[in-house]
Chain A
């Protein structure tokens, strides 16, 4: 018997019944639900800005928040689909976060143009970056640990999307808590770090989500 033949016999002997992973729609619901619960926890911890109800009347602020939510949701969808080697044959869903991210950047550009230069900057800066990073740690670890149990064949994309989701949750929690209207501050200390963390995820994915070689 050839080596391949022997391997096939060995693997067949090891063929215990296996429970198939849920459909990506179910995985998306679970991931989004957990993300929502975590966000609620962060809001309970960090509080909400006192003028939130008034700010939500502003279309630009409302779109910013909605697009952040859409970005997190589309990242959860992408993670769900990327859990399968063939992306469950729903390739477009894996790239959905790129669309929401592009729309989000457009809204930021519009806010940049609309916000007066005289808008006061908050006195803090790096504290926001550290806060977002700290908020992102738990969801980032959770998503990476989850993806390691799956059969992802796009580790770069998966890593980037994982950290986009995690840092997006951190940014959203802080945006709802921090009473700042300075777009310069937001771009420098909130959203630029979010993009940097996502880029870091592209690299981390290739390391953390590598498949092991050799027999089980």
Chain B
């Protein structure tokens, strides 16, 4: 990002491409609609371009990036709900517009079971206990004879791998 601020177009291209790769699954999870996620992603990339003078490279990049991403996402959701309410013909149409409809994730534990089973070590077992059985990290740690922090680290690493495989 620092190189791109200096005018390095290739570095900037890399930053934007990796940003798009990082944000797309985040937006898909929150919007549940890939084409809406692409629209919001375009707005975010444009906003990053316009706001890049506010990042100097001396502090972590992700908080800056996600601050812009969350702001544009909120703008989009505000407009979406506003338009839907404004143009709804009757109460039935408003009823159909629920928070869960917009933000429902297309992914559930069962839908990505195959990917989870391909994870290494205790990761599949940990994710199964956490998300399928509904145990807390502490309870999972007790069952598997691990430290709670180790369970959390393993889960975090598993999410990272799954995000990469599924987000593409």
- Check if A and B associate: yes
Interface residues of A (CB under 8 A from B): 3-4, 7-9, 11-21, 23, 83-89, 150-151, 153, 211, 213-216
- Pick the interface stretch among B67-75, B114-122, B129-137, B155-163: B67-75
- Structural contact, A216 and B50, CB atoms closer than 8 A: yes
Q: Which residue of B lies closest to A6 (CB)?
A: B42
- Structural contact, A15 and B64, CB atoms closer than 8 A: no
Bound CA span A13–B7, Å: 10
- Pick the interface stretch among B8-16, B85-93, B94-102, B138-146: B8-16
Bound CA span A16–B52, Å: 11
- Structural contact, B12 and A15, CB atoms closer than 8 A: yes
The 5 residue pairs across chains A and B that have the minimum distance between CB atoms: A151-B51, A17-B7, A20-B56, A85-B67, A12-B13
- Structural contact, A8 and B54, CB atoms closer than 8 A: no
Asked if B168 CB lies within 8 Å of chain A CBs, one says: no
- Structural contact, B49 and A20, CB atoms closer than 8 A: no
Closest Cβ of chain B to A154, distance in Å, is 9
The residue that A211 contacts in the complex, of B8, B20, B53, B71, with Cβ under 8 A, is B71
Bound CA span A84–B55, Å: 8
| Given known contacts A16-B7, A89-B63, A3 and B54 CB-to-CB distance under 8 angstroms | no
Asked if B43 CB lies within 8 Å of chain A CBs, one says: yes
- Structural contact, A153 and B5, CB atoms closer than 8 A: no
| Given known contacts A17-B6, A153-B68, A211-B75, A8 and B20 CB-to-CB distance under 8 angstroms | yes
Bound CA span A3–B63, Å: 26
Closest Cβ of chain B to A144, distance in Å, is 17
| Given known contacts A15-B12, A17-B5, A86 and B63 CB-to-CB distance under 8 angstroms | yes
Bound CA span A83–B50, Å: 13
- Structural contact, A4 and B71, CB atoms closer than 8 A: no
SS class of chain B's interface: helix, strand, loop or mixed? helix
- Structural contact, A84 and B54, CB atoms closer than 8 A: yes
| Given known contacts A4-B20, A21-B56, A151-B51, A86 and B5 CB-to-CB distance under 8 angstroms | no
Q: Which residue of A lies closest to B19 (CB)?
A: A8
> Which residues of B are found within 8 Å of A211, using beta-carbon distances?
47, 71-72, 75
> Which residues of B are found within 8 Å of A7, using beta-carbon distances?
42, 45-46
Total interface residues on B, using CB and 8 Å? Answer: 39
Closest Cβ of chain B to A177, distance in Å, is 38
Asked if B105 CB lies within 8 Å of chain A CBs, one says: no
Residue of B6, B49, B50 most packed against chain A (CB within 10 A): B49
Bound CA span A85–B38, Å: 21
Closest Cβ of chain A to B46, distance in Å, is 6
Bound CA span A23–B56, Å: 9
- Structural contact, A4 and B46, CB atoms closer than 8 A: no
Bound CA span A86–B71, Å: 10
- Structural contact, B17 and A8, CB atoms closer than 8 A: yes
- Structural contact, A15 and B54, CB atoms closer than 8 A: no
> Which residues of B are found within 8 Å of A8, using beta-carbon distances?
13, 16-17, 20, 45
Asked if B60 CB lies within 8 Å of chain A CBs, one says: yes
The residue that A20 contacts in the complex, of B42, B43, B46, B55, with Cβ under 8 A, is B55
Q: Which residue of B lies closest to A17 (CB)?
A: B7
- Structural contact, B4 and A15, CB atoms closer than 8 A: yes
Residue of B6, B45, B51 most packed against chain A (CB within 10 A): B51
Asked if B41 CB lies within 8 Å of chain A CBs, one says: yes
Q: What would 7 more interface pairs be, CB under 8 Å, given A12-B9, A89-B59?
A: A18-B52, A85-B51, A85-B54, A150-B54, A151-B53, A211-B47, A215-B46
> Which residues of B are found within 8 Å of A150, using beta-carbon distances?
54
- Structural contact, A4 and B64, CB atoms closer than 8 A: no
